[in-house]
């Protein structure tokens, strides 16, 4: 396996119910930023969750491989998988308001992985946390370390979460709609921060979003999903110049754009939806699990 993260034919389904992911394959190289794009129910966050081992209990992986740093995570025993994910990957979650434990101090929440899982000494972990808070430009980092989450603004909490994600120098970060809950001006700062941190640390980044605008700013390549199926996989430049799949093109056409009053807001044509649904159905015909 050459890529740092390599997902091979990953299929997931609700236990005894419908499929959510249909033989998804994708690679993320070290230093690459890959966007996962799609509408709700497309399965884009399921992929991120599968990689991090946090799928909802009702969802099970039915087939496929997830190679992270040369190891197939799905073949490891649960305890080993947990440790391995904790040491090599991290998550930047969606909602900064609920992603920090309200009853624990910020400092503890940044350092806990280093101390409890990776066995750092507390002093060293705290020094590292301070360093990171400085790096994500949190003012008065010493004070923030002792603060509780409700004392910080939304944007500040997201910075803390980014610092926390980079704390253990992970080689892969999954960002799950990290700016959806933020105002657009704050979103710009946070996106910029994520891009800078990613570039500086050379991390592989899996960026889950429904916003094509955001994708065009931070990602190098992207996968477009519909109904748990990757319908297009391409570089960002090619995608915006000439999307290959009709569904991708329709999605792009439906996206509003303030610079061009005529563009955007065109509903996805029914024919396109029918065609892509047919593709999904075709994928299911080859599925042995019924």
Partner 1 sequence: MADLYTVSDLRLGLPDMTRKPLFGAAPRIGILHGLSFSVPKGEVLGIVGGSGSGKSTLGRVLVRLLEPTGGRVLFDGQDISHLPEDRLRPLRRRFQMIFQDPMSSLNPRRRIGGIIAAPLQLHGFDRISARVDEALDHVGLPRAFRHRFPHELSGGQRQRVGIARAIAMRPDFILADEIVSGLDVSSQAQVLALLAELVRDLGLTLAFISHDLSVVRRLCTSTMVLHQGRIVEHRPTDALFAAPEADYTRELLDAIPLPDPDQRWDLAAG
Partner 2 sequence: MLDARGLVRRRLGLRLWLSGGWLLLLLFAALLAPWIAPHNPLEQDLFTSRLPPFWMPGAEPGYWLGTDSLGRDVLSRIMHGARIALIVAFIAGTATMLIGATLGLIAGYYRGWADIVISRLIDIWMAFPPVLFAILLIAVMGPGLTSVIVAIIVIDWTRFARVVRAEAMTQGAMDYVASARVAGQRRLGTMLTEILPNVLPTIGVLLTLEMGIAVIVEAILSFVNLSISTDAPTWGGMIAEGRLAIHQAWWVLVFPLITLFLTVLSFSQLGEGLKDRYDPVLR
Partner 3 sequence: MLLRRILTRLLTTLVTLLGVSVVVFVVIRVVPGNPIAMMLPPGATQADIDRLNALYGFDRSIAEQYVIWLGGVLQGDFGTSIQARQPVLRLVLNRLPATLELSIMALVIAVVLGGFLALTGTRLRGSRGEGAIDVTNGMALSVPDFLWGLVLILVFGVLWPVFHISGRVSPQYIQEFTTNFFLFESVLRLRLDLWLDLVSHMLMPALALAIPLAAIIGQLLKQSLKETMHLDYVTLARTKGYRENHVILREALPNAVLPTLTLIGVQFTFLIGGTVIIERLFSYEGLGNMAIDAVINRDLPLIQGIVILFAVLFTAINLIVDLLYAVLNPRLRHA
Which residues of this protein are in contact with partner 1, per CB under 8 A? 39-40, 183-185, 187-189, 191-192, 195-196, 199, 210-218, 236-237, 240, 250-252, 254-259, 261, 264-268
Question: Using CB under 8 A, which residues numbered 10 to 29 contact partner 2?
Answer: 14-17
Contact of residue 14 among partner 3, partner 2, partner 1, none (CB under 5-8 Å per partner type): partner 2
Which pair of tokens denotes residue 109? Answer: 């929440």
Distance CA 90, CA 5 (A): 13
Question: Using CB under 8 A, which residues numbered 83 to 122 contact partner 2?
Answer: none
Which pair of tokens denotes residue 148? Answer: 């509780």
Beta partners for 26?
7
Q: How far is the CB of 82 from partner 3 (least distance, A)?
A: 5
Among 40, 57, 258, 259, binds partner 2 (CB under 8 A): 57
Contact of residue 211 among partner 1, partner 3, partner 2, none (CB under 5-8 Å per partner type): partner 1
Residue 203 CA to its chain's centroid (Å): 13
Q: Which is nearer to partner 1, 202 or 213 (CB)?
A: 213
Q: Does 150 bind partner 3 (CB under 8 A)?
A: yes
Distance CA 44, CA 114 (A): 29
Contact of residue 29 among partner 2, partner 3, partner 1, none (CB under 5-8 Å per partner type): none
Contact of residue 180 among partner 3, partner 2, partner 1, none (CB under 5-8 Å per partner type): none
The SS3 call for residue 220 is coil
Which pair of tokens denotes residue 174? Answer: 């999954």
Question: Using CB under 8 A, which residues numbered 43 to 62 contact partner 3?
Answer: 52-54, 57-58
Report the candidate in 211, 263, 168, 275 with the shortest Cα–Cα distance to residue 39: 211
Provide the pairing of β-strand 172-176 with 59-68.
unpaired
Among 56, 70, 139, 202, binds partner 2 (CB under 8 A): 56
- Whether the Cβ atoms of residue 36 and residue 209 lie closer than 8 Å to each other: yes
Contact of residue 169 among partner 2, partner 1, partner 3, none (CB under 5-8 Å per partner type): none
- Whether the Cβ atoms of residue 228 and residue 216 lie closer than 8 Å to each other: no
Report the candidate in 180, 230, 202 with the shortest Cα–Cα distance to residue 46: 230
CB atoms within 10 A of CB 248: 23
Phi, psi of 41 (to 5 degrees): 85, 0
Q: Does 240 bind partner 3 (CB under 8 A)?
A: no
Q: Which residues bind partner 2 (CB under 8 A)?
A: 14-17, 56-58
Q: Which residues bind partner 3 (CB under 8 A)?
A: 52-54, 57-58, 79, 82-83, 85-87, 89-91, 93-95, 98-104, 109, 112-113, 116-117, 148, 150-151, 161, 164
């Amino acid at each position: 396996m050459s890529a740092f993260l390599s997902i091979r034919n990953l299929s997931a389904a609700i236990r005894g119910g419908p499929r959510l992911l249909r033989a998804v394959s994708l690679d993320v190289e070290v230093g690459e930023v890959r966007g996962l794009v799609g509408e709700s129910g497309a399965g884009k966050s399921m992929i991120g969750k599968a990689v991090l081992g946090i799928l909802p209990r009702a969802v099970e992986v039915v087939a496929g491989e997830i190679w992270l740093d040369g190891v197939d995570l799905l073949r490891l025993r649960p305890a080993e998988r947990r440790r391995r994910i904790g040491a090599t990957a991290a998550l930047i979650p969606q909602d900064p308001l609920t992603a920090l434990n309200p009853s624990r101090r910020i400092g503890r929440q940044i350092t806990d992985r280093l101390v409890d899982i990776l066995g750092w000494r507390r002093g060293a972990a705290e020094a590292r946390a301070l360093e990171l808070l400085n790096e994500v430009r949190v003012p008065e980092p010493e004070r923030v370390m002792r603060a509780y989450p409700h004392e910080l603004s939304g944007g500040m909490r997201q910075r803390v979460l980014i610092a926390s994600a980079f704390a253990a120098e992970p080689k892969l970060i999954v960002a799950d709609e990290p700016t959806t809950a933020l105002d657009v001006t704050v979103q710009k700062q946070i996106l910029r921060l994520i891009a800078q941190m990613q570039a500086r640390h050379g991390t592989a980044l899996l960026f889950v979003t429904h916003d094509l605008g955001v994708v065009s700013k931070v990602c190098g390549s992207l996968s477009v999903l519909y109904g748990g199926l990757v319908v297009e996989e391409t570089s960002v430049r090619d995608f915006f110049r000439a999307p290959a799949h009709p569904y991708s093109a329709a999605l792009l056409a439906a996206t509003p754009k303030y610079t061009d009053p005529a563009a955007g807001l065109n509903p996805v044509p029914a024919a396109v939806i029918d065609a892509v649904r047919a593709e999904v159905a075709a994928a299911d015909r080859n599925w042995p699990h019924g």
